[in-house]
Amino acid sequence: MADDQRLWGYPEVAAHLGISVGATRSRKSRGSLPSPDDDSVPDRPRWKPSTFQNWRPVGRGFRSDLHSSPRQETTSTD
C-alpha cells in the first residue's frame, strides 16, 4: 500500500491528536472522532490521514484558542 494510502489505527490517531490510545478509543465510542474510512475488521477501525487533515475536535476540554485557524480581521468604520 502506498504511503498516501496508509491507514491509521488507534495508535497513529492518538499520536496525531496528542492523546492516549485509551482516550482515542473513548472518543471513538462517544462519536467524537470522524467515522472510520475502513471498519472491515471488527474492533480495528482505520482512518486515512487525510480524514484528520482539516478535522478539529469540538466539545468539552478542547481549547480552540490554542490551535491556529484562519481568522477574519474586523475593522472599525467610525
Residue 22 lies in a domain: yes
This prediction has a pTM of 0.68
**Which range marks the domain in which residue 13 is found?**
7-52
Does residue 61 carry a pLDDT above 90?
Answer: no
Contacts of 46 (CB under 8 A, 6+ apart): 7, 8, 9, 36, 37, 38, 39
Mean pLDDT calculated for residue range 25-54: 93
Residue 39 lies in a domain: yes
Q: In total, how many domains does the chain have?
A: 1
Segment among 15-24, 43-52, 54-63 with least mean pLDDT: 54-63
